[in-house]
Structure 1
């Protein structure tokens, strides 16, 4: 399990110095995430699988929220459309009845 993009993976055993500087252990494991960590501010662990997995998980949550919002907006628009159609039909019906009533008075 990784720690994200700005920290080396926990399983690698890096020693914390400050939030963006970590000392690598003497015995580096063969895990690619451990080997890809860099203390360079532009690199860190952005190419690590743990970073990519975390980004993907965040995107899934964001898209789920967007899907729910879009579904609710669609339902709202359908309701407004139905109300508008009913109001238009009632207005036409009232107009027909008014003409009918005026013909016999």
Structure 2
């Protein structure tokens, strides 16, 4: 199951997260690969969190290369049955500022 340390069920709590829109990893965030996934450090908030699976790391890193969140999840090879869990995790990452809407200029 996809998990970010504070993702919870934040999709419902964050109306700004629309997976049909383009997103990216925030420029204020550094991802450090680990065997379990990645450490996430937000330079603005000085908050440390975790991406608990390698596929979730792949999705987050791939966001900037796809037209929307759904396409990034599909490109990472996430099974259909796991996609709702990934959307919840990504909504939590959006709420915490780890990922952000990508400008569509």
Task: Please indicate the TM-score interval, normalised by the length of the shorter structure.
Answer: under 0.3
TM-score by length of 2: 0.21
The structure whose Rg is larger is 1
Higher relative contact order by CA 8 Å / sep ≥ 6: 1 or 2? 2
The structure richer in strand per residue is 2
Structure with more helix by fraction:
1
